[in-house]
Structure 1
Amino acid sequence: MRLIGKDVVTYGACRAMGKAIAAFLLLVSPAWAGPVTVLALGDSLTQGYGLVQDQGFVPQMQKWLDDQGIEARLVNGGVSGDTTAGGAARVEWSLTPEVEAMIVTLGGNDLLRGFDPGVSRGNIEKILKVAEAKEIEVLLVGMKAPGNYGAGYKADFDAIYPELSEAYGTLYVGNFFAGLGEGSPADLQAYFQPDGIHPNADGVGRIVEALGPRVIELINATK
């Protein structure tokens, strides 16, 4: 089952916009005493399933930030197969004292298993409540439900991320896969591993370029 929504921007436009935003944010970035530690809390998409170590989401994002001159240290908090419930169960101890910001990318496995959107919402809200209590800045990255569960399910699930982001004042990206752009399933398959679910190294690179400017915003928000 593919978890890519239709409301995504083209890769070329996203890449050009991302570079422009990143350049601007770099100019306005404050001087820091040291790197900001960012926890990437997620599932196999964060963990780097099926990829060699330096091709996963966290290593590629770390390199992208380094290339922009951003002083940050990303911690890979991705657990393959994790659900929103798993993230909620481990967020408290994952947010060690040095962590100042968190990227939350969870919900894909909830979709694959057809979990009740209300349950997923409750779990993500628990994560955001812990972050709020610890004064941790958050970038919440959404997932888009496929249409095969029905329009009602899709509407309920897709609403989780923007509504909770607004309620808890987090930064927000609507779709983890947006950087891959639009296209037919056959076209987009070029950026996926054979399972059709996990991006390959090229796909991760595109995702990182799209998300990178928002990660810079997250890092700046800690100061």
Structure 2
Amino acid sequence: MRKLVFYIWCLLCIIQVSAEAKTKVMLFGDSLMAGYGLTQNHHLDKILQKKFGDRNITFINASVSGDTTKGGLERIDWSLGDKPDLIFLCLGANDMLRGINPKVTRDNLDMMIRKIKNKNIKIILAGMVAQKSYGKSYAKEFNSIYPDLSKKHKIKLYPFLLDGVALKPELNLDDGKHPNIKGVEIIAKNIFPIIQNEIFNK
């Protein structure tokens, strides 16, 4: 009888530890990942959650519509309080749309990455691409931010969040900037492998 009780106790402990050992993945960005214009069940985190199924992984969407890298830097410490194991970071689109100096964007992202790494949290940095209307000089300086920071901090880079989605009317809302349901599904499909790789290759 004592052995049976001990066995049940051990089993309950294992179940409890397993339940507490969920891997937390945080999406930290702007409206492109916040689900702008879409119902909650079509947000990027919800679609990724479905793709991972019941593999003890939970997604936290800490993205804020309209956010710039300055805003992200101001709230990153608070967001780290959720103790994520991995952060998928994509900010800078609104900096570009506002014509903010790419050096400012670079410095803000650099400081965010440092704060995340100081907590020993894994990072995937997703890049953005400047619109041609901003000119070659601006585009060159802006577009180099993401690969440069990836190399500097030795973190994974997903070159362009909207790869396969940008400039395709059928994959975007009427504003032509934000992905629609089909667009978000493509983004989820594209980034799923790199997130999966970072989670399981510890």
Work out which of the residue numbers 12, 22, 34 in structure 2 matches 1:47: 34
- Tell me the secondary structure at the aligned position of residue 39 of structure 1: strand
SS of residue paired to 1:96: helix
Matched residue of 2:112: which SS?
A: helix
Superposed CA offset, 1:51-90 (max 9, x none): 0001011111111122xx6431110101010001111111
The structure showing larger relative contact order (alpha-carbon pairs under 8 Å, at least 6 residues apart) is 1
Map 1:31-70 onto structure 2 (within 5 A). 33=18, 34-66=21-53, 70=55
Matching residue of 1:20: none
Name the amino acid aligned to 1:138.
I
Calculate the aligned-residue CA RMSD, in Å: 1.6
Structure 2 residues not aligned, in runs of 5+: 1-16
Aligned letter for 1:195? D
What amino acid maps onto 1:127 in structure 2?
M
Matches within 5 A, 1:91-130: 91-96=76-81, 98-130=83-115
Match for residue 133 of structure 1?
118
Return the TM-score normalized by structure 1: 0.79
Q: Report the Cα distance in structure 2 between the residues aligned to 1:218 and 1:84, rounded to whole angstroms.
A: 24
Deviations 1:158-213 (A, max 9, x none): 000011011111111000011438xxx4xx10000001110000110011101110
- 1:199 corresponding residue in structure 2: 179
SS at 2:76 equivalent: helix
Q: Which residue of 2 aligns with 1:154?
A: 139
Cα pair 1:39 1:95 within 8 Å, conserved: no
2:195 equivalent in structure 1: 215
Q: Which has the larger radius of gyration?
A: 2
Where 2:100 maps in the other structure, the secondary structure is: coil
Q: 1:78 aligns with which of 48, 63, 76?
A: 63
Once residues 188 and 82 of structure 2 are traced to their aligned partners in structure 1, the CA distance between those partners, rounded to angstroms, is 26
CA contact (8 A) 1:47 1:56 kept: yes
> Normalising to structure 2: TM-score of the pair?
0.86
Q: How many angstroms apart in 2 are the aligned matches of 1:151 and 1:159?
A: 12
Contact 1:72 1:219 in 2 (8 A): no
Q: CA deviation at 1:98?
A: 3.0
Give percent identity, aligned residues only.
34
How many residues align? The count is 184
In the other structure, the counterpart of 1:26 is: none
Question: Counterpart amino acid of 2:151?
Answer: E
C-alpha distance in 1, partners of 2:164/2:58? 23
Query: Displacement of 1:111 after TM fit?
Result: 1.2
Q: Is the 8 A contact 1:105 1:140 kept in 2?
A: yes
